[in-house]
A and B are shown apart, each in its own frame.
Chain A
Amino acid sequence: MYLLFVLFNPLPVMRTISTFLLLLATAYASAQTEKTPEGVDLLKAPASPSAQLLNIAPNAIERPTDLSSFWISVNNVTSNFTKFPTDYSFDISPVSLFHSTGVTLKDLNTKNLSSVLWQTLIVSTGIRSVEDTLTGQSFYKAAIGLKISFIRPKWSGATESKYQAISVLQEEVTEKIKIDVNEILKDSLYQRKLTEREAVKNKKSAEYKRIDKELDDLFLILLANKRVERMADRSESYTRLKELARDFKIERVGFYLDMAGGFSGSFPTNKLGYSLADRSGVWLTGGYDGGNNHLSVLGLARYLYQPETIYADPAHTIPTKRISTLDMGTRLLYSGTDDKFNFSLESIYRSVLNKNIIGPSWRLIFSAEYDTGFNTKLTLNLGRDFDGSLIKGGNLIAGLTFIAGFGNKRNL
């Protein structure tokens, strides 16, 4: 009887059907939005300009954070300097690699232009061995690039608040350490050791060095004892400070302007004296990030010389040799307070600068979405496509879509 009930219970079947329909509706909605796969995101600056120009996979890029790891990386790739690397690319942040300037947490919120430039500078370089398809001989290509921010957004209110909380607790710790130090400096044993050191006239003598070291060791022991006592007395404050510091993440809001660029050259004879310009690119990214429940604006411009593919020529009708392209895009995003209403306006312009065969083209898409509640969503996509506008002088890409799901409430 139970078996029959399980076999013929309609509820799981209903659930399966509703889940299937929900998946179908989601897939349909995704298909609708995927009508614009090559959106503004395509124009975004690459993680590593030189690796992009040399076609080196992003996960193969070395990112050493200090000189010793940089040294190990170079040592590994050259097999202890016994061979020239075939594929090697690394990105370094000079401020991180040579951390002599002492950039602290507070400095990461500075508006000072020279500090922002220095802190955000990333130098990207790489080398790759490629094979000539005609001769079958291999030769080297090398690239160098950089990434930098001209305008960096300020910290969000939430980040500022967390930083202030950390600062207050740190100040409390400093005050406590000062009290402890004053007590140590009055300690009779410590005073005796100090007097002993002062009494040695020859400050370069072995005796002076011995007493000086003993004093430092004693100081450290006394400070360690005080720290243990302090942490026991104020364990809550220390725990809170540790939690805040551990979870601290920098979120930024406001205007930003970043630039990335690089160029690559090939060495057909594998000699430094003879090189040919290969590819180059400049990416400019700017906008305003309003954080959650606000307006965000993004503007992108990309210049490429001898790109791998020409964005304005998806049919590959012209070769990329000695071709320069300029592509630009903007995106405006707004999300309402409870994420019920979202809209975006996206435009892309693409062009080939030095060939008249392919004219510039542009696309404009407006998308709006309203969550009407209980698995229903009203979406609208309106726009003008690249080819559609060129042929017909503008058309609608899509109309109004209503998406409904079945079963329990789900976020579509």
Chain B
Amino acid sequence: MPQEIKELIFSLDKEYKLAADTTTVSLSVIVGVMGQSPDLDVDLDEKELLTHHKGSITALPITATVGAILQIIGNVVDVASDSNKIEVTLQLEGGVQSLTRTFSVNVEQDGETVDVVFIIRFI
């Protein structure tokens, strides 16, 4: 029985409340396990912040305004020879509360692709 498609998609669409005194938030997207291959685009509305980024994202500063939409879109391919696990952790800090979500899957076929789609709406 083939692996369910939904398991191969890491997605969320969340509202994120900005703090009153600051508009800069910090974005991290940590890709595991060691040796997997990501390709990530980060856009804030029409502005491209990162294009086809091939690593994890660590504390990327984002100047956010209320109503702006942050999109983190891409994929991670299972390349690591010693593990079939793909894990992605999204961290957003600097707002009223921190947002942390971890997605994880053990792909059943070597070389499988996992889609990554995170939408953050600043309020």
Nearest Cβ on chain A to B25's Cβ, whole angstroms: 17
Residues of the B chain whose Cβ atoms lie less than 8 Å from the Cβ of A242 = 109-113
Across the two chains, which residue of chain B brings its CB closest to A216?
B12
Asked if A70 is at the interface of the complex by the 8 Å CB criterion, the answer is no
Nearest Cβ on chain B to A196's Cβ, whole angstroms: 12
Q: Which single member of B55, B58, B75, B78 contacts A173 (CB below 8 Å)?
A: B75
Answer whether A246 and B111 are a contact pair too, CB < 8 Å, given A102-B58, A104-B36, A105-B35: yes
Q: Give B39-97 interface residues, CB cut-off 8 Å to A.
A: 39-41, 52, 54-56, 58, 71, 73-75, 77-83, 87, 89
Interface size on B, residues (CB 8 A): 49
Residues of the B chain whose Cβ atoms lie less than 8 Å from the Cβ of A166 = 37, 77, 79
Contact, CB under 8 Å: A107 / B55: yes
Residues of the A chain whose Cβ atoms lie less than 8 Å from the Cβ of B54 = 104-106, 167
Interface 9-residue window, one of A92-100, A320-328, A330-338: A92-100
Across the two chains, which residue of chain A brings its CB closest to B56?
A102
Using a Cβ cutoff of 8 Å, how many contacts connect chains A and B?
A: 145
Residues of the A chain whose Cβ atoms lie less than 8 Å from the Cβ of B120 = none
How far apart sit A101 and B119, CA to CA, in the bound complex (Å)?
Answer: 23
Residues of the B chain whose Cβ atoms lie less than 8 Å from the Cβ of A241 = 77, 111, 113
Q: Is the interface of B mostly helix, strand, loop or mixed?
A: strand
Asked if A59 is at the interface of the complex by the 8 Å CB criterion, the answer is no
Residues of the B chain whose Cβ atoms lie less than 8 Å from the Cβ of A143 = none
Contact, CB under 8 Å: A104 / B113: no
Nearest Cβ on chain B to A185's Cβ, whole angstroms: 8
Q: Which single member of B8, B80, B111 contacts A243 (CB below 8 Å)?
A: B111
How far apart sit A170 and B76, CA to CA, in the bound complex (Å)?
Answer: 8
Q: Is the interface of A mostly helix, strand, loop or mixed?
A: helix
Contact, CB under 8 Å: A227 / B5: yes
Asked if A29 is at the interface of the complex by the 8 Å CB criterion, the answer is no
Q: Mark A93-129, 1 if CB is under 8 A from B, else 0.
A: 0011001111111111000000000010000000000
Contact, CB under 8 Å: B39 / A99: no
How far apart sit A146 and B26, CA to CA, in the bound complex (Å)?
Answer: 36
Q: Mark A130-171, 1 if CB is under 8 A from B, else 0.
A: 000000000000000000000000000000000000110011
Contact, CB under 8 Å: B8 / A227: yes
Residues of the B chain whose Cβ atoms lie less than 8 Å from the Cβ of A194 = 13
| 21 A-B pairs in the complex with CB atoms less than 8 angstroms apart | A95-B34, A102-B32, A102-B58, A103-B35, A104-B38, A105-B36, A105-B37, A105-B54, A106-B55, A167-B37, A167-B52, A167-B54, A170-B113, A173-B115, A174-B41, A178-B41, A194-B13, A224-B6, A241-B77, A243-B111, A246-B109
Chain B positions within 8 Å of A, measured between CB atoms, are: 5-6, 8-9, 11-15, 17, 29-41, 52, 54-56, 58, 71, 73-75, 77-83, 87, 89, 109-113, 115, 117, 119
